[in-house]
């Protein structure tokens, strides 16, 4: 199936990045959210990020203008119905995702491919609640979307080959690399990454090191560009906890037990950069460790 129009559900950090790269690649994009303020903020962020690309001569001003014209916004999910491809990029909450798909289904054309940007939830389970499990798959972008080169493509048990090939063609047109992952909890990247962040939380919880020493150790000792606690704040500690819970529930192995300190930070609402506080306090001129 040739894909020309793409609907993106959710205008947050992931959704606006997905809309950004799709529009630059020549796709007509319709971006949906429940809040007009979120849609306005997303368009502003996309424009700002493309401006940065123009200033760095990564794209031309004309390419930016053309891409911005390809993006439209809507508060109505049914408006995404005629799309060739829909990418759901809402919060990592299974019941919310199912509710979105239930609302969309009556308005989709028979050939529309339905995908989720979920970072951990079972694609097979999400697909089973739709009328098109064979045309449903995981389409997991990395954050920040315009910079990261990888996209995980996850087939559910019923996903057919034409659906996979259509999504693979989109990834290639975006200039990114696809990694095919089996439909097991957290797939590839987060199966490895999030337990590392959780282990860093345990090291902090048990007093092995401070926030600063743990992050410095991994940056300088393992050549990581960001320390694990800094990265957790960037991803969102609530998202990290949600993925750890998926791993713990799905694999029933105690090594995936979420660290109690991670749970406490989320309970406090200190979920990272987006909240102004996490393992670092971001409300001043420079981030300050909170522990």
Catalytic residue, chosen from 140, 166, 198, 230, is 140
Q: Is 143 annotated as a binding residue?
A: yes
Q: Is 4 annotated as a binding residue?
A: no
Active site annotation includes 49: no
SS3 state at 112: coil
Q: Is 15 annotated as a binding residue?
A: yes
Compute the distance between CA of residue 75 and CA of residue 31 in angstroms, rounded to an integer. Answer: 9
CB atoms within 10 A of CB 142: 16
Helix-then-strand count for the chain, H and E = 11, 10
Catalytic residue, chosen from 116, 120, 152, 230, is 152
Q: Is 172 annotated as a binding residue?
A: no
Catalytic residue, chosen from 119, 120, 166, 198, is 119
Active site annotation includes 83: no
Active site annotation includes 128: no
SS3 state at 14: helix
Q: Is 119 annotated as a binding residue?
A: yes
SS3 content of the chain, % helix, strand, coil (to 5): 50, 15, 35
Q: Name the burial class of residue 148, with classes exposed (0-12), middle (13-18) and buried (19+) by CB atoms within 10 angstroms of its CB.
A: middle
Active site annotation includes 206: no
Q: Is 180 annotated as a binding residue?
A: no
Q: Is 58 annotated as a binding residue?
A: no
Q: Is 38 annotated as a binding residue?
A: no
Q: Which long-range contacts (CB under 8 A, 24 or more apart) does 132-136 make?
A: 132/108, 133/157, 133/158, 133/159, 134/158, 134/159, 134/160, 134/163, 135/111, 135/159, 135/160, 135/163, 136/163
Catalytic residue, chosen from 120, 190, 198, 230, is 190
Q: Is 16 annotated as a binding residue?
A: no
List phi, psi (to 5°) of 196: -65, -45
- Between 61-69 and 36-55, two packed helices, what is the crossing angle to 10 degrees? 160
C-alpha closest to that of 228 among 216, 246, 238: 216
Q: Is 92 annotated as a binding residue?
A: yes
> Could you tell me which residues are annotated as the binding site?
10-15, 33, 92, 97, 119, 143, 274
> Could you tell me which residues are annotated as the binding site for NAD(+)?
10-15, 33, 92, 97, 119, 143, 274
Catalytic (active-site) positions = 119, 140, 152, 190
């Amino acid at each position: 199936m040739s894909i020309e129009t793409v609907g993106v559900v959710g205008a947050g950090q992931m959704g606006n990045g997905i809309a950004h790269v799709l529009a630059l690649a020549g796709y007509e994009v319709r971006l949906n959210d429940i809040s007009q303020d979120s849609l306005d903020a997303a368009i502003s962020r996309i424009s700002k990020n493309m401006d940065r690309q123009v200033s760095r001569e990564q794209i031309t001003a004309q390419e930016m203008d053309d891409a911005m014209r390809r993006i439209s916004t809507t508060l109505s999910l049914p408006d995404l119905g005629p799309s060739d491809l829909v990418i759901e990029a809402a919060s990592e909450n299974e019941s919310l995702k199912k509710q979105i798909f239930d609302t969309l289904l009556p308005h989709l054309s028979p050939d529309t491919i339905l995908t989720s940007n979920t970072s951990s939830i079972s694609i097979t389970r999400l697909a089973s609640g739709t009328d098109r499990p064979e045309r449903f798959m995981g389409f997991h972008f990395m954050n920040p979307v315009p910079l990261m080169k990888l996209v995980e493509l996850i087939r559910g048990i019923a996903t057919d080959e034409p659906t996979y090939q259509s999504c693979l063609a989109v990834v290639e047109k975006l200039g990114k690399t696809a990694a095919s992952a089996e439909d097991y909890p957290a797939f590839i990247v987060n199966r490895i990454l999030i337990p590392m962040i959780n282990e860093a939380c345990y090291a902090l919880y048990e007093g092995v090191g401070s926030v600063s020493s743990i992050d410095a150790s991994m940056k300088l000792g393992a050549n990581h560009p960001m320390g694990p606690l800094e990265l957790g704040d960037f991803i969102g500690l609530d998202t990290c906890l949600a993925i750890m819970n998926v791993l713990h529930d799905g694999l029933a192995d105690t090594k995936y037990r979420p660290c109690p300190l991670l749970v406490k930070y989320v309970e406090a609402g200190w979920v990272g950069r987006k909240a102004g506080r996490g393992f670092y306090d971001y409300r001043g001129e420079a981030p300050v460790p909170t522990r």
